[in-house]
A and B are shown apart, each in its own frame.
Chain A
Amino acid sequence: MIDYQWTSTLIGLLIASLILFLVRRDHLHGPYAVWWLVVAAMVVVLGVFPRLFDTVAPLFGVAYPPILAVVLGMGLLLIKMLTMDLERSRQERKLRRLTQRLAMLETLLEKVHQSQLAQEKEKDIGGDDNQGQ
């Protein structure tokens, strides 16, 4: 049986390499990647030094130290999920406004096209008349 320390370190390293891979492949960008790298680093640090909880937990009045890890982890996940929804809402707003703007520009472009065509036609008719005279 391997030591728990190794298990956590391995999980931390795996998460870190997965994040780096995703950034490399352009699947994760800027602020998200940084957040997840911090998470991976925390997992590695706490994996290597699990005793950290034994020192910190009593300071927060937690009698059974590992529970602190669970509570902290869940709290951070909730914050992360909230920020993700905030970001998603921001993007949704942007996407909707862009869609609207695109439609407006398409319509305008079509109108400009039509008026240009009409002008060209007028010119042609004028030219024909002149030739006739």
Chain B
Amino acid sequence: MCLNFQSFSVPARLAVLIPAHNEAATIDGIVRAAKEHLGGDVVVIDDASTDGTAQIARSAGATVLPLSCNLGAWGATQAGIRYALKANYQQVMTMDADGQHLPEYLPLLLTTLVSGEADVVIGACTERGSRARQLAWGYFRKLTGLGIEDLTSGFRAYNKAAMRVLAAPEATLLDYQDVGVLLLLRYARLRIQEIPVPMRERDHGGSRVFPSWLVVGKYMLQTSLLCLAKVGMNGKRRVAMQR
């Protein structure tokens, strides 16, 4: 049996990636809605769920990537991006499995990406989140100099250049898909554009990124350290650009 990805014919050139961890309650609706609104292939990355997420996604018509251990939202997304590259997709879009992101806005993101104005398009909703989260975002914007309003949005569209950057081993040890990922993209001199979109409150369960204050503290510390460590790299890039 041939195990070569290239030999496998892929009908569409676009894939919607949905990382999911125990999202049996919402995944069916989201897969169907994504298919309906965009028509591309839907790939659900099952992040070692213990409920029926994988089966439900499969029966809703999605391709399922079953991760054998829990890699977190970013590790799952990267698995999807690596799969998409191997299977020769030209663009990928990512969205959460919890119902926050509205599939009807997928075409808007895609249109902006395909127009060639940007390598990465982020569906941004700055109104969501508590005052503490807004403060944290402001702090990271200052620290990184990233001119991006919604740092944590997982509602994004990437072209092939961005997919290549994010599939690399350098992106594998990141724990969150926000600041670290955006810094990598900036370092690769890719153009990032934000489009304001509305978002819904989560249908089920709490946020995966901010479940408790202890986790928030850990996140703030880790991300601050990451920003500080990458300061020199940004400088290098700016010099390179001036030349």
Q: Mind listing 11 A-B residue pairs with CB under 8 Å?
A: A89-B173, A93-B169, A96-B173, A99-B67, A99-B68, A99-B71, A100-B78, A104-B65, A106-B65, A106-B66, A111-B8
Contact of A100 among B1, B2, B5, B67 (CB under 8 A): B67
Tell me if B234 counts as interface (CB < 8 A to partner A): no
| The 6 nearest A-B residue pairs measured at CB | A100-B79, A103-B65, A104-B83, A103-B67, A93-B172, A96-B172
State A111–B83 Cα separation when bound (angstroms): 13
Contact of A107 among B64, B172, B173 (CB under 8 A): B64
Tell me if A81 counts as interface (CB < 8 A to partner B): no
Contact of B8 among A97, A99, A101, A112 (CB under 8 A): A112
* Residues on A with beta carbons closer than 8 Å to the beta carbon of B173: 89, 92-93, 96
Tell me if B224 counts as interface (CB < 8 A to partner A): no
* Residues on B with beta carbons closer than 8 Å to the beta carbon of A104: 5, 65, 79, 82-83, 86
Interface residues on A, range: 10 to 19
State the Cβ distance, B49 to closest chain A Cβ, in Å: 12
Contact at A100–B3, with CB atoms within 8 Å?
A: no
Please, which residue of chain B has its CB at the minimum distance from the CB of A104? B83
Contact at B8–A100, with CB atoms within 8 Å?
A: no
Please, which residue of chain A has its CB at the minimum distance from the CB of B63? A107
State A93–B66 Cα separation when bound (angstroms): 18
State A100–B65 Cα separation when bound (angstroms): 8
Of B3, B69, B78, B79, chain A has the most CB atoms within 10 Å of the CB of B79
Main secondary structure of the interface of A (DSSP, over half): helix
Tell me if B45 counts as interface (CB < 8 A to partner A): yes
Please, which residue of chain B has its CB at the minimum distance from the CB of A92? B173
State A109–B66 Cα separation when bound (angstroms): 12
State A100–B68 Cα separation when bound (angstroms): 8
* Residues on B with beta carbons closer than 8 Å to the beta carbon of A108: 3, 5, 8
State A93–B8 Cα separation when bound (angstroms): 28
Interface residues of A in 82-118 (CB under 8 A from B): 89, 92-93, 95-97, 99-109, 111-112
* Residues on B with beta carbons closer than 8 Å to the beta carbon of A105: 3
* Residues on B with beta carbons closer than 8 Å to the beta carbon of A107: 63-66, 83
Contact at B3–A102, with CB atoms within 8 Å?
A: no
CB-defined interface of B141-184 with A at 8 Å, one 1/0 digit per residue?
00000000000000000000000000001001100000000000
Please, which residue of chain B has its CB at the minimum distance from the CB of A100? B79
State A102–B82 Cα separation when bound (angstroms): 12
* Residues on A with beta carbons closer than 8 Å to the beta carbon of B79: 99-100, 103-104
Tell me if B123 counts as interface (CB < 8 A to partner A): no
Contact at A100–B75, with CB atoms within 8 Å?
A: yes
* Residues on B with beta carbons closer than 8 Å to the beta carbon of A95: 69
* Residues on B with beta carbons closer than 8 Å to the beta carbon of A102: 68
